[in-house]
Amino acid sequence: VSTQSTWDLEKKGMINSFLMKAVPFAYRNCMFQRISRTLATVVKVPNLAESITEGEVKSIKNEGEFVGLDMPFAVLETGKAAVEIKAPIAGKLVKLHAKVGQTVLVGNDFAVIDETQAPPAGGASVDAPKAKPAEEKAAPKLAESIKAAPTSAPTPKPAEAPAKKPVIPEPEPVKASFAKFSREVRRIPLNFLRQAASKGLKESQNTYAMLTTFNECDMSELTNMRKDLSEDFLKKHGTPLTFMSAFVKAAAMSIRKYPAINAVIDGKEIVYRDFVDMSLEVSAPKGILVPVIRNCESLNFAEIEKAIVYFGAKAKEGKIALEEILGGTFAITNNGAFGSMLSTPIINTPQSAVLGLHSIKNKPTVVGNKIEARPMMFLALSYDHRLVDGREAVLFLKNIKELIEDPRRMLMEIQTSQKQQQMNLSLIHISEPTRPLYISYAVFCLKKKKT
């Protein structure tokens, strides 16, 4: 009796009594354990991320196809990125519990792989098309030979019929003006990525006491530094010098000074994080992805630029992993790349602030006692007012402005002086209508002290 038939008889409870007596129990037990290990394996939906419990099936192989060990046979689209499901064993897909477009939950059964069935010889799939007979392969050659053979004498052309008078069509009745244009309505299913983004943004609006403050930044010094050092920077580090690395560095330095920007409310506690994981938006074929650059407070300009180039290339190829877009503590969005002049960015949970960059435009600016055309950029900071006070938000954004306007401070890691900070605090608490009176009184006191 073969091993397979013995297993079938044992499973049905009809094993031959002779085998039960002849085969020792220990040997029979080991044999059945070996057979059970070769049975079909159930593949479950893996853990996608800490906060993700479901995903949408984007693509999956068909039943009856063979898969190799660690071979991706399905792709799940989550609210952050696409996740591949790999085969834990090599075998045949005998059953699928999901199809394309279906939403599956983490931990549920996804597929069944039978490792006892080996692929056909040559590694070809079961559903592979059969080879065509030699007669069909020879058919094109025969057709070519027929075309190449000399043809008989051309037959004389028939006599041309007399030309008919042109028929003038009757004018069509005049219709409504909108009849010349399309009036169709198309309905396209909302993909899983867009659904998750919509849910997260609406949750952010409903949870946070969101407020936005603005400032204007002079980009002259940073523009000149980039123009003078871009070629040397590219030769040494192999990556171009952009404005984004300067803003990432300035934000990381400002977070050291105002740690509440990098904190988050968790129930009845405030969680302060001593590291800065920066979320940056990059364009991808499917939309906008937000990869995270870890520990930006410890990176220099070159390391930040290399990380931006790395994630940009992976986003275009659609190969950003799920763990690379989770866990940011602060975000920067650059709507200026699309020509935006001003915006109010929305905070992404579980962060507490987001910095918005905008397009650079030459504007008339007072420099000393002269009016000059300077490249200016509007900066916007949206923050959770439950955690961050207006004073800290304004000073945080102003500190970024000062670091960008004088990049030497970032290279030397020099923040705004304590005296300048106290002056900024006093000006913030003075209301706009009464501010000229306070300034005039201060000037009067200084003149009186000199005399």
Phi, psi of 351 (to 5 degrees): -90, 170
CA distance 261 to 395: 11
Cis peptide before 46 (omega within 30 of 0): no
**Active-site pick, 97, 114, 385, 406:** 385
**Length of the chain, please?**
451
Which residue has 């690395």 as its token pair? 245
Of 356, 344, 391, the residue nearest 251 (C-alpha): 356
Alpha helices in 94-151 (DSSP H): 134-148
- Which phi-psi region, left, alpha or beta, contains residue 13 (left: φ > 0; alpha: ψ -120 to 50)? left
Q: 329 burial class (0-12, 13-18, 19+ CB within 10 angstroms)?
A: buried
Can you read off the two tokens belonging to residue 126?
């079961």
For residue 389, indicate whether it is catalytic.
yes
Collapse the DSSP code of 395 into the 3-class scheme (helix H, G, I; strand E, B; otherwise coil) and give the result. Answer: helix
**Active-site pick, 8, 389, 406, 429:** 389
Collapse the DSSP code of 392 into the 3-class scheme (helix H, G, I; strand E, B; otherwise coil) and give the result. Answer: helix
CA distance 282 to 392: 28
Q: CB of 55 within 8 A of CB of 104?
A: yes
For residue 237, indicate whether it is catalytic.
no
Which are the catalytic amino acids? 385, 389
